């Protein structure tokens, strides 16, 4: 078997172990893409730039710069954007809950 074939089989076995909850979380590797289409994420959510920026705590000018290609999100922002793309309601709920806790302390 080729080296690629062996890697594919090993990867498939790891995926099954993760899905079953049998894998050690310490061995997981996080994948953050080198590039991410911020505008596509925002459009898929049906949000204006201002609403997206407000909902997910981005400075509006930063969002505009990303969308217009003047700058790129760093790796943490790309990871955050991936979570937003997959679970926007959960992100908004977490941010809302965090804001409510802070307001109660004040």
Helices within 1-106 (DSSP H only): 3-20, 38-44, 49-56, 60-67, 75-86, 88-105
Residue-wise pLDDT tens digits, 14-44: 778 777 888 776 777 777 889 999 999 999 9
Contact 49, 67 (CB under 8 A): yes
**Residue-wise pLDDT tens digits, 49-76:** 999 999 999 999 999 999 999 999 999 9
SS3 61: helix
Second CATH level (architecture) for the domain 32-105 = Orthogonal Bundle (1.10)
Name the pTM for this structure: 0.69
């Amino acid at each position: 078997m080729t080296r690629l074939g062996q890697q594919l089989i090993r990867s498939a076995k790891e995926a099954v172990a993760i899905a079953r909850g049998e894998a050690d979380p310490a061995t997981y590797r996080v994948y953050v893409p080198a590039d991410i289409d911020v505008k596509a994420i925002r459009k898929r959510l049906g949000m204006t730039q201002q609403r997206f920026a407000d909902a997910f705590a981005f400075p509006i000018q930063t969002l505009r710069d990303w969308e217009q290609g003047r700058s790129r999100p760093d790796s943490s922002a790309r990871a955050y954007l991936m979570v937003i793309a997959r679970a926007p309601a959960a992100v908004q709920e977490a941010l809302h809950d965090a804001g409510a806790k802070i307001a109660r302390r004040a």
